[in-house]
A and B are shown apart, each in its own frame.
Chain A
Amino acid sequence: MEKIFEEFAKKIKTKEELIFYLEEIIQVQQIVFKNKGVTLSKKMGGKMSGELKNFLERLEKKEVISKNPGQQSSFLEKLKKYLQSLPEIKLEIAFLPSDEFLTRINQWLEEEFGQKVILDLIINPQIVGGAVIEHRGNWRNFSLVKEIDKLISQKSL
C-alpha cells in the first residue's frame, strides 16, 4: 500500500498541490456512502481532477479498491494521512520556477532524504536571488539580499 501511495505522491511537488489533493480526497470521502455498490471513480463523476480519478480507476481495475464503501473510505483516509505525513521544506525564492526545475528539486530532495518531500514554496523577489530555507524549525538565509546587506554594512563601517 505504501508504494501505491508513493506513486501518487510523485505527482505532488508543492504544498499547494498537496492541499488541493487533500481537499479532493475530503470531498470524495463525503460521497463515499451515498451510492453503495458503485466504484469511487464513478461516484466522483466529473467533479474531481483527472489525476486523482485516474489514480483511483487504476487501483479499482487492480481491485485494490473495492465497491465496498467502508473499504473505500478506509483507503481514502490512509491516503490522506500518508500525504499529510510527508516531510515539508519551506523554500523562499526570488523567481517563479518552471515545473521542470521543481521536479529537479523534488528529485534531488528525495535522493537526499530518501523519501518524498513537499516544497512549501514562497515567491519573494525582494530576496534578489538564492533561497531562504526552513526545515523542522531550522531556518537559513542563503539569499543574495543578505549578501548585499552584509557587503554594504562592511563598506559603511
Chain B
Amino acid sequence: MNTIFLIIASLFIVMVLIVLIFLTFTTRSKKREEFLIQEFIKDTLFLKISETFQKELEKLIKEETKKIILENKEKIQKATDEIIESYKKELEGISQEVDKKNSQFFELSLKAQNEILTNAQNKIANLNEETKKEILKFKEVNSETQKLLLGEAKNQVSKLTQNLTQEVSQVYQVAKEALRGQITKTEQEIESYKKERFKEIDQGIYQMIGKVSKKTIGKAIDLSTHEKLVMEALKKAKKEIF
C-alpha cells in the first residue's frame, strides 16, 4: 500500500512540474514576442518601414516565435518524457525492491513463525513430559503418604476404639447403676402411689357404699324396726344420760 501511494505521489509531482515548466516557457515566449514588437516599433520611429515589410516582419516574427515555441514544446516534451521515463524506471526499481523486501520479510516472518511454533511445540512437549514426570513422582509420594496416613489413622482409630469402649463401658456401668437406683426408687414410689391410690379408691368406694347404704337402708327398714331401734336408743340413753 505504501509503495503504491509513493508511486502515485511521485507521478503527481512530476505532472505538476511539467505543467509549471510549460507555463514558464509559454510566458517567456509571449514576453519575448512583445519585447521584439516593442523594439521593432522603437526602430520604426526612427525608420520608416513600409507596410509590406512590416507585415512580412510580423509574419516572420510570428513564424519564428512559432518555431521557438514548437522547439520549446519539443524540448519540454522530451524533458518531460525523460523525467517520466526516469521516474518510471526508478519506480519500477523501487517496486521491485519493495516486492523483494516484502517477499524477504514474508519469508523471514514465516521462518520466524515456524521457528517460534517449533520452539513452542518443543517447549510444550518438554513441559508435558516434565509434568508427567512430576505427576508420577507426586503420585508415588502421595501413595506413600496415603499408606502412612492410613496406617496412622488405623492405629489412632484402634486406640480410640479401645479408649471409647472402655469409656463407654464405664459410662454404661455408671448409668446402669444410676438407672437401677432410679428404677428401684421409681418402683417404690409407684408402690407407694399405688397404695395411696388404692386407699383413696377404697375410701371412695366405702364412701359410695356409705352413701348408698344411707339412702337404701333407711328406706328398706320397716316401721316396726324403726320403732324398735328408737326404743333401743331411748333405753341406751336412759343408762347414759337420763
Consensus secondary structure, chain B interface: helix
Verify B210–A108 contact, CB threshold 8 A: no
Q: Give residues 206-226 of B contacting A (CB, 8 Å).
A: 206-207, 209-210, 213-214, 217-218, 221, 223, 225-226
B218 to chain A: which residues have CB within 8 Å?
94, 125-126, 128-129, 144
A156–B206 touching, CB < 8 Å: yes
Query: Roughly how many angstroms separate A112 CA and B234 CA in the complex, as a whole number?
Result: 10
Q: Which residues 194-242 in B have Cβ within 8 Å of A in the complex?
A: 199, 202-203, 206-207, 209-210, 213-214, 217-218, 221, 223, 225-227, 229-234, 236-238, 240-242
Of the stretches A25-33, A62-70, A75-83, A130-138, the one at the interface is A130-138
B206's partner among A104, A112, A139, A152 (CB-CB below 8 A) is: A152
Do A105 and B230 touch (CB < 8 A)?
Answer: yes
Q: Are A108 and B231 in contact (CB under 8 A)?
A: yes
CB within 8 Å of A: which residues of B? 199, 202-203, 206-207, 209-210, 213-214, 217-218, 221, 223, 225-227, 229-234, 236-238, 240-242
Most buried by A among B206, B231, B232: B206
8 contacts between A and B (CB under 8 A): A91-B234, A113-B242, A129-B225, A138-B241, A140-B241, A144-B229, A152-B210, A156-B206
A109 to B206, CA, bound (A): 38
Docked CA distance A112–B238 (Å): 8
User: For B202, B229, B240, which residue has the most chain A Cβ atoms within 10 angstroms?
Assistant: B229
Check B226 against A129 for contact (C-beta < 8 Å).
yes
* A contact set with B: CB distance below 8 Å: 91, 93-95, 97-98, 101, 104-105, 108-109, 112-113, 125-126, 128-131, 133, 135-136, 138-140, 142-145, 148-149, 152-153, 155-156
Report how far A3 CA is from B226 CA in the complex, Å.
34
Q: What are the residues of chain B within 8 A of A94 when measuring CB–CB?
A: 218, 221, 226
A-B pairs, top 5 by smallest CB distance, nearest first, are: A142-B233, A138-B241, A131-B233, A152-B206, A128-B218
Contact A93 B230, CB 8 Å, known A112-B242, A138-B241:
yes
Contacts A97-B227, A144-B221 given; 15 further ones with Cβ under 8 A?
Answer: A93-B226, A95-B223, A97-B230, A105-B230, A109-B234, A112-B242, A131-B230, A131-B234, A135-B241, A136-B241, A138-B241, A140-B240, A142-B229, A155-B202, A156-B202
CB–CB B236/A140 < 8 A: yes
Task: Decide: B207 and A152 in contact? CB cutoff 8 A.
Answer: yes
Closest to A142 in B: B233
List, in ascending order, chain B residues with CB within 8 A of A148's CB.
Answer: 210, 213-214, 217
- Which residues of B have CB within 8 Å of A128? 213-214, 217-218, 221
**For residue B231, which residues in chain A have a CB less than 8 angstroms away from its CB?**
105, 108
Partner of B221, one of A129, A133, A140: A129
Could you tell me the distance in whole angstroms from the C-beta of A119 to the nearest C-beta in chain B? 10
Q: Are B234 and A105 in contact (CB under 8 A)?
A: yes
Is A101 within 8 A of B234, CB to CB?
no
Tell me the minimal C-beta distance from B218 to chain A in angstroms: 4
Which B residues touch A105, using CB under 8 A?
Answer: 230-231, 234
Residues in B neighbouring A98, C-beta threshold 8 A: 223
> Which residues of the other chain, B, contact A136 by a CB distance below 8 angstroms?
241
Q: Which residues of A contact B226 (CB under 8 A)?
A: 93-95, 129
Q: Please, how many angstroms separate the alpha-carbon atoms of A123 and B107 in the complex? A: 147
Quick check: A130 and B233 within 8 Å, CB to CB? yes
- Contact partners of A91 in chain B: CB under 8 A: 230, 234
A-side contacts of B230, CB under 8 Å: 91, 93, 97, 101, 105, 130-131
Structural contact, A133 and B233, CB atoms closer than 8 A = yes
Closest-by-CB residue of B relative to A134 is B241
Q: Quote the shortest CB–CB distance from B207 to chain A (angstroms).
A: 7
